[in-house]
Structure 1
Amino acid sequence: MLTPDNIATLDQRARQVGAAIGWQLRFTVAPNPAYVGLVASDETIGDEIIILGPSRITDLAVHEIDLTLDALERGERHIIHDEDGDPRLI
Protein backbone atom coordinates (compact mmCIF):
# COMPACT_ATOMS: atom_id res chain seq x y z
CA MET A 1 0.00 0.00 0.00
CA LEU A 2 1.03 3.59 -0.53
CA THR A 3 1.69 5.93 2.35
CA PRO A 4 -0.06 9.31 2.51
CA ASP A 5 3.31 10.92 1.66
CA ASN A 6 3.66 8.71 -1.44
CA ILE A 7 0.16 9.64 -2.57
CA ALA A 8 0.77 13.36 -2.01
CA THR A 9 4.06 13.24 -3.94
CA LEU A 10 2.52 11.40 -6.90
CA ASP A 11 -0.48 13.72 -6.93
CA GLN A 12 1.74 16.81 -6.84
CA ARG A 13 3.77 15.49 -9.78
CA ALA A 14 0.59 14.76 -11.75
CA ARG A 15 -0.69 18.27 -11.09
CA GLN A 16 2.63 19.83 -12.16
CA VAL A 17 2.73 17.84 -15.39
CA GLY A 18 -0.92 18.66 -16.02
CA ALA A 19 -0.28 22.38 -15.59
CA ALA A 20 2.62 22.17 -18.04
CA ILE A 21 0.52 20.46 -20.73
CA GLY A 22 -2.75 22.34 -20.20
CA TRP A 23 -4.76 19.67 -18.41
CA GLN A 24 -5.81 19.18 -14.81
CA LEU A 25 -4.25 15.85 -13.84
CA ARG A 26 -4.57 14.07 -10.53
CA PHE A 27 -3.19 10.84 -9.10
CA THR A 28 -5.99 9.00 -7.36
CA VAL A 29 -6.44 6.00 -5.12
CA ALA A 30 -9.62 4.02 -5.73
CA PRO A 31 -12.03 3.16 -2.91
CA ASN A 32 -10.19 -0.16 -2.81
CA PRO A 33 -6.69 1.16 -1.91
CA ALA A 34 -5.04 -1.63 -3.88
CA TYR A 35 -5.96 0.27 -7.08
CA VAL A 36 -4.68 3.59 -8.38
CA GLY A 37 -5.18 5.69 -11.47
CA LEU A 38 -4.58 8.95 -13.24
CA VAL A 39 -7.54 11.24 -13.87
CA ALA A 40 -7.84 14.26 -16.14
CA SER A 41 -10.18 17.18 -16.62
CA ASP A 42 -10.16 20.62 -18.17
CA GLU A 43 -12.36 23.70 -18.24
CA THR A 44 -14.68 22.19 -20.87
CA ILE A 45 -15.73 19.16 -18.81
CA GLY A 46 -17.06 19.13 -15.29
CA ASP A 47 -15.97 15.68 -14.19
CA GLU A 48 -12.64 14.00 -13.85
CA ILE A 49 -12.21 11.05 -16.21
CA ILE A 50 -9.85 8.15 -15.58
CA ILE A 51 -7.31 8.15 -18.39
CA LEU A 52 -5.00 5.48 -16.95
CA GLY A 53 -6.14 2.71 -14.63
CA PRO A 54 -7.53 1.87 -12.27
CA SER A 55 -4.76 -0.66 -11.94
CA ARG A 56 -3.50 -2.78 -9.09
CA ILE A 57 -0.51 -1.40 -7.23
CA THR A 58 1.02 -4.87 -7.30
CA ASP A 59 0.95 -4.75 -11.13
CA LEU A 60 3.44 -1.86 -11.15
CA ALA A 61 0.64 0.68 -11.66
CA VAL A 62 2.52 3.46 -9.88
CA HIS A 63 5.55 2.90 -12.11
CA GLU A 64 3.32 2.91 -15.20
CA ILE A 65 1.71 6.19 -14.12
CA ASP A 66 5.14 7.71 -13.46
CA LEU A 67 6.35 6.65 -16.93
CA THR A 68 3.19 8.07 -18.48
CA LEU A 69 3.75 11.41 -16.74
CA ASP A 70 7.32 11.42 -18.10
CA ALA A 71 6.03 10.74 -21.63
CA LEU A 72 3.41 13.48 -21.34
CA GLU A 73 6.08 15.93 -20.20
CA ARG A 74 8.31 15.03 -23.15
CA GLY A 75 5.42 15.23 -25.61
CA GLU A 76 5.64 11.55 -26.51
CA ARG A 77 2.07 10.95 -25.31
CA HIS A 78 -0.88 13.31 -25.42
CA ILE A 79 -4.32 13.80 -23.97
CA ILE A 80 -7.04 14.65 -26.46
CA HIS A 81 -10.81 15.03 -26.33
CA ASP A 82 -12.49 11.91 -27.70
CA GLU A 83 -15.67 11.91 -29.78
CA ASP A 84 -17.75 12.48 -26.62
CA GLY A 85 -15.55 15.35 -25.44
CA ASP A 86 -13.92 13.29 -22.69
CA PRO A 87 -10.15 13.26 -22.19
CA ARG A 88 -8.34 10.29 -23.67
CA LEU A 89 -4.68 9.34 -23.40
CA ILE A 90 -3.01 8.57 -26.71
Structure 2
Amino acid sequence: MNFVLHLSLWVALLLITVGVALYRKWLEDHCDHYIHLHSDSHDASVVAAQSAMCKRLDLVDKLRTALMVALIVYGLTIGGLAAYNAWNSGAAS
Protein backbone atom coordinates (compact mmCIF):
# COMPACT_ATOMS: atom_id res chain seq x y z
CA MET A 1 0.00 0.00 0.00
CA ASN A 2 1.38 3.38 -0.99
CA PHE A 3 0.71 5.70 1.95
CA VAL A 4 2.50 8.64 0.33
CA LEU A 5 -0.11 8.70 -2.43
CA HIS A 6 -2.98 8.52 0.06
CA LEU A 7 -1.47 11.21 2.26
CA SER A 8 -0.94 13.43 -0.79
CA LEU A 9 -4.58 13.00 -1.78
CA TRP A 10 -5.62 13.72 1.80
CA VAL A 11 -3.57 16.93 1.85
CA ALA A 12 -5.10 17.95 -1.50
CA LEU A 13 -8.57 17.35 -0.05
CA LEU A 14 -7.57 19.38 3.01
CA LEU A 15 -6.46 22.29 0.82
CA ILE A 16 -9.71 22.17 -1.16
CA THR A 17 -11.69 22.19 2.10
CA VAL A 18 -9.73 25.19 3.39
CA GLY A 19 -10.27 26.94 0.05
CA VAL A 20 -14.04 26.39 0.24
CA ALA A 21 -14.08 27.68 3.84
CA LEU A 22 -12.15 30.80 2.81
CA TYR A 23 -14.51 31.33 -0.15
CA ARG A 24 -17.50 31.11 2.21
CA LYS A 25 -15.88 33.66 4.52
CA TRP A 26 -15.26 35.95 1.54
CA LEU A 27 -18.89 35.60 0.42
CA GLU A 28 -20.14 36.36 3.92
CA ASP A 29 -17.93 39.44 4.19
CA HIS A 30 -19.24 40.83 0.88
CA CYS A 31 -22.95 40.40 1.53
CA ASP A 32 -25.49 42.88 2.85
CA HIS A 33 -26.16 42.09 6.52
CA TYR A 34 -29.36 44.14 6.69
CA ILE A 35 -32.64 42.39 5.98
CA HIS A 36 -34.69 44.19 3.32
CA LEU A 37 -38.40 43.41 3.43
CA HIS A 38 -39.94 46.42 1.70
CA SER A 39 -42.14 45.93 -1.31
CA ASP A 40 -41.12 48.98 -3.33
CA SER A 41 -39.38 48.62 -6.68
CA HIS A 42 -35.93 49.67 -5.43
CA ASP A 43 -35.79 47.03 -2.73
CA ALA A 44 -37.07 44.27 -5.01
CA SER A 45 -33.66 43.94 -6.63
CA VAL A 46 -31.95 44.05 -3.22
CA VAL A 47 -34.26 41.33 -1.88
CA ALA A 48 -33.58 39.19 -4.97
CA ALA A 49 -29.82 39.68 -4.56
CA GLN A 50 -30.04 38.75 -0.87
CA SER A 51 -32.03 35.64 -1.70
CA ALA A 52 -29.47 34.58 -4.31
CA MET A 53 -26.62 35.20 -1.87
CA CYS A 54 -28.34 33.11 0.81
CA LYS A 55 -28.82 30.25 -1.64
CA ARG A 56 -25.15 30.45 -2.63
CA LEU A 57 -24.08 30.46 1.03
CA ASP A 58 -26.30 27.43 1.72
CA LEU A 59 -24.76 25.57 -1.21
CA VAL A 60 -21.22 26.40 -0.07
CA ASP A 61 -22.12 25.31 3.48
CA LYS A 62 -23.36 21.93 2.22
CA LEU A 63 -20.22 21.50 0.12
CA ARG A 64 -17.99 22.44 3.06
CA THR A 65 -19.77 19.98 5.34
CA ALA A 66 -19.48 17.17 2.79
CA LEU A 67 -15.79 17.91 2.27
CA MET A 68 -15.13 17.91 6.01
CA VAL A 69 -16.89 14.56 6.43
CA ALA A 70 -14.92 13.11 3.51
CA LEU A 71 -11.69 14.52 4.95
CA ILE A 72 -12.30 12.97 8.37
CA VAL A 73 -13.42 9.59 7.00
CA TYR A 74 -10.50 9.40 4.56
CA GLY A 75 -8.03 10.40 7.27
CA LEU A 76 -9.38 7.78 9.66
CA THR A 77 -9.25 5.18 6.90
CA ILE A 78 -5.61 6.00 6.14
CA GLY A 79 -4.79 5.85 9.85
CA GLY A 80 -6.60 2.54 10.24
CA LEU A 81 -4.79 1.03 7.27
CA ALA A 82 -1.44 2.26 8.59
CA ALA A 83 -2.17 0.73 12.00
CA TYR A 84 -3.28 -2.53 10.38
CA ASN A 85 -0.11 -2.71 8.26
CA ALA A 86 2.06 -1.94 11.28
CA TRP A 87 0.27 -4.63 13.28
CA ASN A 88 0.74 -7.21 10.52
CA SER A 89 4.39 -6.34 9.91
CA GLY A 90 5.08 -6.58 13.64
CA ALA A 91 3.40 -9.98 13.86
CA ALA A 92 5.30 -11.31 10.82
CA SER A 93 8.72 -10.41 12.26
TM (norm. structure 2) is: 0.27
Higher strand share: 1
TM (norm. structure 1) is: 0.28
